[in-house]
Chains A and B, each alone.
Chain A
Amino acid sequence: MNGRKGTLIFWGVASLILFCLVVIGLFVEEAATVTDFSRTNLPPSLQYPFGTDWMGRDMFQRTLAGLSLSIRIGLLTAAVSAAVAFVLGLCAATLGSRVDACISWCIDWVMGIPHILLVMLISIACGRGFTGVVVGVALSHWTSLARLVRGEILQLRQAPYMLAAEKLGVSRLKQAGRHVMPHVLPQFITGLVLLFPHAILHEASVTFLGFGLSSEQPAIGVILSESMRYLTTGKWWLALFPGLSLVFVVVLFSLLGDGLRRWLDPASAHR
């Protein structure tokens, strides 16, 4: 078994885990909000692996539902961000120096503001909640990918083999399909996957700070910020397990991106 096969298997397993998390989370969303005051503040046990909270909610189910929501928000925002990044990067690289200057200025402007602050401001402006978080994260995460796409296409346009193709009479469309896409697409897809962990973490932190999802939604950020009040009274399981599982999902996404990058790397493409 070579490295490429191993990466592929890892990809399959990791995607399956994430997919299952999303689906299971959707199913337990109802059960996660059930309160039962006969089982409040139970430490982790076989029946309740992550324990229960002060309202008797099963923390395992709440965490699953929260992760599912986080992943869905991550997918949505990463997709929107990536689409914005691709279009703007392409425009900046191909529509002349004025458009380029304008878009580059926007990129610098958005990058100049701390991410979390920008997400908070946009989220508040959009009325918080699901919409606020999605719009906030989507509008603040496209910059680095847009810069990457722009730089890559600009560099390709000056590459001798592109110039040669042009002079040999190869049509624009064929040039784009043959030379540009194979170079840009792997970078773009990798960038897209690596956007997920950022998006998920920012969603959770904004929610944790109280500017994101509302408290009746089973979000990891909500769970963590609520548990803060009970942490000092010894209810350690309220924050530990949801926090760890968030880290687990983020690391999984990050590894997926890294694996993809290695797999699509030009140097390994024909290994």
Chain B
Amino acid sequence: MSLEASRVTFGYGGRKKQMILQDISLSLSPGERLGLKAPSGRGKTTLCRLLAGYEKPLSGQVLLDGVPLYKWRGACPVQMIWQHPETAVDPLLRLGDTLREAGPIDPKILERLHIEKAWMDRYPSELSGGELQRFCLARALQPTTEYLLCDEITAMLDLVTQAQIWKFLLQTAEKRGLGLLIVSHSDALLERVCTRVEELPEGM
């Protein structure tokens, strides 16, 4: 029972056909918090997109409990939290609608993420990045969710908000046995929150 990437190779189509990820393998078990670090441009976000099933690897497989992930239909147990929350919410939709898009959210989650009732009627352009990121987290924490891929989710937030969000995430992951993949440039953060840290090897 785990999320596994086995010998995944991937590159975006284009003239150069350059591979970004070459033969990458990693596995993430429930309850585990895997930290991932690498210099910019080495494919951390791309790996997240593959692990979340947004892209299909050119060779190798991403398996969730032994089943290829991109074949998954309906609510996916692997949810990705994007680095830029303002792109991950529809600018024309009130945040309440965005939040309830996939189904009702446990009010306790909203309370623990400090999401205020008044924000529900606002549009994304009226809230800050940190506030939007809370919505993205709440939205991703569906009852079906088993793995969260956190792609530098607090990189642009102030320290207080960072601390709040990580405290919440660690508690929730603990309670629900979620597997977390945490991508970050901050060694201090990875050391503090992860059970295991890996460095992404260089591609071609």
Closest to B126 in A: A270
Closest to A164 in B: B88
Given the known A-B contacts A160-B87, A269-B92, are A167 and B101 also in contact in the complex, defined by CB atoms under 8 Å? no
How far is it, in angstroms, between the C-alpha of A90 and the C-alpha of B162 when the chains are bound? 42
9-residue interface stretch from A178-186, A203-211, A246-254 = A178-186
Contact of B88 among A161, A266, A269 (CB under 8 A): A161
A179 and B123 contacting across the interface, CB-CB below 8 Å: no
Within 8 A of A (CB), among B50-84: 52-54, 74-76, 78-80, 82, 84
B91 at the interface (CB under 8 A from A): yes
B123 and A178 contacting across the interface, CB-CB below 8 Å: no
A167 and B80 contacting across the interface, CB-CB below 8 Å: yes
User: What distance in Å separates the Cβ of B101 from its nearest Cβ neighbour in chain A?
Assistant: 6
B92 and A266 contacting across the interface, CB-CB below 8 Å: yes
A159 at the interface (CB under 8 A from B): yes
How far is it, in angstroms, between the C-alpha of A104 and the C-alpha of B90 when the chains are bound? 28
Closest to A169 in B: B75
Given the known A-B contacts A168-B75, A168-B102, are A270 and B90 also in contact in the complex, defined by CB atoms under 8 Å? no
Within 8 A of B (CB), among A72-131: none
How far is it, in angstroms, between the C-alpha of A167 and the C-alpha of B78 when the chains are bound? 8
A170 at the interface (CB under 8 A from B): yes
User: Which among A167, A178, A182, A270 has the highest number of chain B CB atoms within 10 Å?
Assistant: A167
User: Which among A160, A164, A169, A170 has the highest number of chain B CB atoms within 10 Å?
Assistant: A164
Neighbouring A residues of B3 by C-beta, 8 Å: none
User: What distance in Å separates the Cβ of B124 from its nearest Cβ neighbour in chain A?
Assistant: 9
Chain B interface helix/strand/loop/mixed: loop
A165 at the interface (CB under 8 A from B): yes
Contact of A165 among B52, B80, B92, B101 (CB under 8 A): B101
Contact of A167 among B79, B84, B89 (CB under 8 A): B79
Q: How many residues belonging to A are interface residues under a CB distance threshold of 8 Å? A: 18
How far is it, in angstroms, between the C-alpha of A178 and the C-alpha of B176 when the chains are bound? 31
User: What distance in Å separates the Cβ of B204 from its nearest Cβ neighbour in chain A?
Assistant: 25
B142 at the interface (CB under 8 A from A): yes
Given the known A-B contacts A169-B102, A178-B101, are A164 and B139 also in contact in the complex, defined by CB atoms under 8 Å? yes
Neighbouring B residues of A183 by C-beta, 8 Å: 92
Closest to A179 in B: B90
How far is it, in angstroms, between the C-alpha of A213 and the C-alpha of B88 when the chains are bound? 53
How far is it, in angstroms, between the C-alpha of A168 and the C-alpha of B52 when the chains are bound? 11
How far is it, in angstroms, between the C-alpha of A165 and the C-alpha of B103 when the chains are bound? 11
B93 at the interface (CB under 8 A from A): yes
Contact of A159 among B75, B78, B87 (CB under 8 A): B87
How far is it, in angstroms, between the C-alpha of A161 and the C-alpha of B92 when the chains are bound? 11
